[in-house]
Structure 1
Amino acid sequence: MASPALQRGRFSCQGHCYVVTTVTARRQRLFAVAANADEMIRWMQASDHEGRTRSMAWVVMPDHVHWMFTLRSSTLATIVRTTKSRAAKAINQRNGTQGAIWQPGYYDQLQRDERQWLAEANYILANPVRAGLATAVGEYPFAWCRWPSG
């Protein structure tokens, strides 16, 4: 069960930008395997193609995901639940496993303006550098941003 503190004050507002962070179950380094990271990216892109979201940036780290998007339809909770569920099913099928892929719940932050969007996108892109997975922004294969870094 997700922490009630994570849900306090949460609301969905179409047309607004959110950053969602979600963590793997037991902080497994599940996405250190490229095929698993690619699967997660596939389902974030599917959300865009279905018109639910418009992704601004993401990074798939070994044990968590940061995803920045504009909510286009549905609710924030439905978008996150659907994307996590689809990715979990696909990853379990790919790996011949069963069970939880994700910790329950997620952390979300509403982005107020474009200046905040760009700062958050830069934070997301720099996450692999801070973690020692890359030496420069743009080098990590599982990070993407709509805007060029700089």
Structure 2
Amino acid sequence: MPVRPNSHRLRQGRFSEKGRAYFITAVIHQRRPVFSDWQTGRLLVAELRRVHEQGIAKSIAWVVMPDHFHWLMQLQSGSLGEVIGGIKARCTHAVNRKTGRHGPLWQSGYHDRAIRDGEDWEPFARYLINNPLRAGLVDKIGDYPLWDACWL
């Protein structure tokens, strides 16, 4: 697999601020639809819930798509890189164990957007929750099993 020549720039200038909300996107290696099997997707959901329950990050909303996930969260402890790296590592281990596969699960890095103070979180949550509808995976969001929002 060729290395993306600018992937190192994803990390330049990245600063983690406790209490700050972030919109995170991480993508599966080679965009394989690993999570089209919703039971495999539940392994990632378990990791998102674990960091929420441990007080590492407060989950606001998330959606697990077949080849990526979006997560709107508020960082509570640690750095963004530690939190996302830990989720990806534990998810990789669980998916590989379940499926018998080996090798990388995720593309390196992730995309994050810090939410400004006073900026409304709802448009970000609506965007990610509607992702399965836009992708044509379901006709009603209630039919999609891999999403949640704190408002429910």
State the TM-score bracket (shorter-chain normalisation): over 0.9
1:80: Cα distance to partner?
A: 0.2
Check conservation: 1:32, 1:62, Cα contact below 8 A.
yes
Which piece of structure 1 moves more, 12-21 or 1-10? 1-10
* Equivalent residue, structure 2, for 1:72: 76
* 1: CA distance, partners of 2:125 / 2:142: 12
Q: Verify: 1:60 aligned to 2:59, yes or no.
A: no
* 1: CA distance, partners of 2:94 / 2:77: 23
1:114: Cα distance to partner?
A: 5.5
2:30 is paired with a residue whose SS is: helix
Q: Deviations over 1:28-56 (max 9, x none)?
A: 00000112100000001001111101100
Determine which of 84, 87, 93 is the counterpart of 2:97.
Answer: 93
Check conservation: 1:23, 1:106, Cα contact below 8 A.
yes
Aligned length: 148
1:10: Cα distance to partner?
A: 1.3
2:120 is paired with a residue whose SS is: helix
Q: What runs of 5+ residues in structure 1 fail to find an aligned partner?
A: none
* 2: CA distance, partners of 1:114 / 1:130: 28
* 1: CA distance, partners of 2:97 / 2:78: 27
* Equivalent residue, structure 1, for 2:20: 16
Q: What runs of 5+ residues in structure 2 fail to find an aligned partner?
A: none
* 2: CA distance, partners of 1:38 / 1:29: 14
* 2: CA distance, partners of 1:48 / 1:59: 15
TM-score (norm: length of structure 2): 0.92
* 1: CA distance, partners of 2:118 / 2:143: 25
Matched residues, percent identical? 36
Check conservation: 1:58, 1:65, Cα contact below 8 A.
yes
- Runs (4+) of structure 1 exceeding 4 A deviation are none
Check conservation: 1:53, 1:71, Cα contact below 8 A.
yes
* 1: CA distance, partners of 2:11 / 2:74: 19
* 2: CA distance, partners of 1:14 / 1:142: 27
* 1: CA distance, partners of 2:118 / 2:41: 28
* 1: CA distance, partners of 2:56 / 2:71: 14
